[in-house]
Every structure is written in C-alpha cells, then in structure tokens.
Amino acid sequence: MKIHELHKNAKVPDNHVAIKFKDRVYTYGEVDTLIDKYASFFQSIGVKKGDRVALSFPNCPEYIFSFMGASKAGAIVVPLNMMLILEEIAYIIIESGANTIVIHPLIAQKIDKSQLGRLNLKNVVVLDENTINAILKMGPSQHVEIEPDEVCTYIYTSGTTGKPKGAMLTHNNFIADVKALDDVSDLGPEDNFLCVLPLFHSFSWTVNILLGFYLGSAITIKESFMPKDTLEILTKEDVTVFCGVPSMFAVLMRMVEKGQFKALRLAISGGAPLAPEIQRGFEEKFNFPLVEGYGLSEAAPVALLNPLEPDAIRKPGSVGLPLPCVEAKIVDENDNELPVGEVGELVLRGPNIMVGYHNMPEETAKTLRGGWLHTGDLAKKDEDGYFYIVDRLKDMIILGGFNVYPREVEDALLEHPDVLEVAVIGVGDPLKGEEVKAFVVLKEGAKADKKELQNFLKNKLASYKIPKIFEFVPELPKNAAGKIQKKLLK
C-alpha cells in the first residue's frame, strides 16, 4: 500500500465525511477524485517519478490533496515549515533537489518570488483560485508504478543540532506506523479527529491525516491552534480525538469548566515532554485519557505510546510502551544495553524507521549504526517496560562533573502553582564548566521570585540541580509545532 491509497483501506461509503474545513465538507469519494486530479495536474506540468515537490501551506485540504497527488504522480514530497524565511526555504530546496514548489496564496504574499528564480526551479505554483479551478478540470492521471519501499517524502528535522537533515521516509514506513497505531486503539469511522497542529509536522500528518484516512474517520481541520476557537469546536462539535502539544492542554485546562467538552474521548500529547501535573490535572478534570507518546521524524514519527484504553495503566512522566512494530532499548556510549532503571540513549528498530538522511551518508551511518536508530534522547526503562525520556543527549548539563537533566528541573518547577512554563538550559561557568539557568513564565497575576522558587526546589532536587540563575520572561520562543526553541534561549 502507498500513502495516497490509505483512504481506500477504510471501506467506508463514498459519501462518508472525510474532511471538514470551515464551511466545506469533503466526502471520501471526493477526496479520491481530488487526489487523482492533483496527480494529473502535477503530470501536466512535467513532474515525473522521483522528482522532488516542495509544499508550503498553512493547514488546509489543498495541502493534503497536493501531497497525495504528487505522491500518486511518483514524486517525493518535501514539506516546508510555513514559518521558514526565504533563506531557510532555499537551503532545503537546494539540499533536497526539489524542482517544483507549490505555495499557498497566503505564503506567496510573504515571499519575494523573484528570489526563487535563483533556485533553478522548473515550476513555481501558487495554488490560487485560478490554479485550483484548472486542477478541477483535469482528467484522470496516468498510472505510475510505485513500490511501497520507495521513498515518498523527505521530512527535514528542526535543525536543533545544526543544519536541517532530510529524513527519507518510505510509503512502508508510514503504513507500518499507521497500522501499529490502529492495532493499539479502538478508533474507527465514527471518530472525528481535530487537526490544529501544522500538517507539515510529522506528528500531525501521521496521526491526524494518515491514521484518520486509514480508519475512515472524519478529520476537522483548523488553520492553527487558537484557544477560543479550539474550545468552541470541542464544546459544540462531535470531535472525539484531539492531538496536541503540552502547552495546548495547559491552556485548555485553564479555560474549560469540568465536563464542558461535547464528545471528546481521547487526547494524545506529543512533540514535547508532558509535565505529569498537566496530565494528572487534565484527566481529573475531564475524566478521559490524556495519553503521552514519543516519536521523531526519523520514525514516521510515533514509536512509543502509553496504552489508549480508558482503564489501562498510564504512568505520568512516561512516554509509554513501544508500538507493536517497534523494538526499543537503552544503551550506553558503546551501544551495550543497560539494565532497568539506568539512564542511557534510547535506540529504536522497526519497519517505521527511515532509510537514512538525504545526501548525508556519514550522518546516516552514525545515526543508524548497528541497525538501530539512535535518537539522541536520554531515557530509562522501568521494570514494567515503560520508557521515560530524561532529556536530549545534547541538552544535558555537566556541572562540576555532575550530570543535570533539564527535563527533571523543568518538571519540578512546573509543580509550583505560580509557574506557567519553564525552560532550563546550561550556561558557561568558568569554575564548574556549566551552570543551571531557568527561563520562567509566570501565570497571570503571580509574583513568585527567584528566592521563592529556589526554596520550593530544595525538597525536590539535589542542591547542585537547583538553578542559580533565573530569568522571568513573558513568553518562551516556540516553533510552529509548539516546541520550545532552546537554541534561541542559548
């Protein structure tokens, strides 16, 4: 199976609702027709099998049709973060070898299209009303033979450790991940996924769109996460599944009265660590699961997930168990497996793991050495097989010979009633090598200061882990997926 065929697995009637966007509803029959028309359009402008097609869109159905249509035409899709500046877009286009870019009109307004001329692009398509009308008049596409193990997309990592790397993912990678998610859930055609996470992000693309299509569910798409708008949808519409990042759940928990959601029965958190007190508070308030998982673009992306059943064991602070298709273990610097409870690097193996990084053979060999994906995340496993992310390997602070994991400090600070958000980093210190610094966002009206927070931490952390430097800020820098950008703080 290929990703542009996922909707055919659902075996729902053609008139079953597939996508809701603003006042427009698309049925599964319409989606199938539109994917084929977009494929025919790409073929008409000279896109051939193996060509790279870059997409720059906010959330909208046309992004899905463009992705699936280009895939059906045999192209490799290169999703672009819509917040990238032209210089960053240029790097990815050149690195990926893309010869076609499709741009939403809202994005086109912000880009100097004359500058795209230096990138040797064969096609610069602005998907405006005229272009869409032309696509709707297209006839059937020409069949292109595509094998499931062929690469279908390059997903560029956020570049926290240097220049973005293009993770090459096959159709099989995504299919394996989607089937594993189906195996551990009871979701189906009667469900309605709310998609507010950006579609260019692998978490949103796999869990909201690909899984939704595979199940025959409805997918309600919003352009972005706007708290009041999201709350209105959750309270008035039949949304049953909501995927978000921790900051979204923290905001909703403050806004919503108990029992206010109309049909929501499952919330899934990913993209960043979920503080245990947010999870506990959310579940106590609304009496349904807020399930934390773990993934990364290189794994298509979901690899670990807490059980989804309402009465299953979910451990606060844990990212759960490996999906049925995934093997996971904790290793030391020599790739020797560590025993239960010891902290090391999390490595993964399974059919959802990328084939490598585009044009980076050395980085690929290093990351996939021994047949295991080395995630760069420090983690540990408990006696029940549940995994806990301790921190990014490269974010670990070494203070006078002691290891300090920012995640541990952040979780402790978030337990203070005045703290809304926090990010902990290491800063240079001439004596200790590094010192612990905390950037803190206080809740509205709160007045906690450095001394109060340090005293609060005395019974929670070893003294060397307690930040010596505090900076109180109105907000923390985040990327489009809601993940805190520590590299900007550093």
311 and 364 fall within a common domain: yes
Q: Given 342, 372, 393, which residue is the final one in a domain?
A: 393
Confidence of residue 86 (pLDDT cuts 50, 70, 90): confident
Can you tell me the mean pLDDT for 222-251? Answer: 92
285 and 273 fall within a common domain: yes
* Alpha helices (H) in 262-404, listed in sequence order: 276-286, 361-367
Can you tell me the mean pLDDT for 104-121? Answer: 84
Confidence of residue 401 (pLDDT cuts 50, 70, 90): low
Q: Given 393, 413, 445, which residue is the final one in a domain?
A: 393
30 and 161 fall within a common domain: yes
Torsion, Cα 298 202 214 62, to 10 degrees, reads -140
Mean pLDDT of the chain: 92
Q: What pLDDT score does 221 carry? A: 98
Tell me the residue range of the domain where 421 lies: 397-489
Contact 178/6 with Cβ under 8 angstroms?
A: yes
CA 222, distance to chain mean position in Å, is 16
Contact 213/182 with Cβ under 8 angstroms?
A: no
338 and 438 fall within a common domain: no
Whether 363 shows a pLDDT value over 80: the answer reads yes
Can you tell me the mean pLDDT for 293-317? Answer: 92
Whether 118 shows a pLDDT value over 70: the answer reads yes
348 and 459 fall within a common domain: no
Least confident of 155-169, 439-453, 475-489: 155-169
The pLDDT > 70 percentage for the chain reads 98
pTM: 0.85
388 and 461 fall within a common domain: no
Q: Read off the pLDDT of residues 7-33 as tens digits, 9 standing for 90 and up.
A: 999 999 999 999 999 999 999 999 999
The CATH number of residue 119's host domain is: 3.40.50.12780
218 and 362 fall within a common domain: yes
Q: What pLDDT score does 129 carry? A: 97
Q: Given 342, 377, 393, which residue is the final one in a domain?
A: 393
Can you tell me the mean pLDDT for 279-288? Answer: 86
Confidence of residue 162 (pLDDT cuts 50, 70, 90): low
DSSP structure string for 206-238: IIIIIHHHHHT-EEEE-SS--HHHHHHHHHHS-
Give the Å distances, CA to CA, from 172 to 150, 297, 406.
Answer: 8, 14, 35
The CATH number of residue 480's host domain is: 3.30.300.30
Torsion, Cα 148 175 136 11, to 10 degrees, reads 110
354 and 475 fall within a common domain: no
Confidence of residue 254 (pLDDT cuts 50, 70, 90): confident
Q: What pLDDT score does 161 carry? A: 47
Looking at the structure of the chain, the number of domains it has is: 2
Q: CA–CA separation, 185 vs 183, rounded Å?
A: 6
153 and 194 fall within a common domain: yes
> Which H or E run includes 261?
none
The pLDDT > 90 percentage for the chain reads 72
Q: Read off the pLDDT of residues 201-227 as tens digits, 9 standing for 90 and up.
A: 999 999 999 999 999 999 999 999 999
338 and 473 fall within a common domain: no
103 and 148 fall within a common domain: yes
Whether 194 shows a pLDDT value over 70: the answer reads yes
* Structure token pair of residue 295: 């993934």
Q: What pLDDT score does 160 carry? A: 45
386 and 443 fall within a common domain: no
For β-strands 100-103 and 52-56, DSSP reports them as parallel
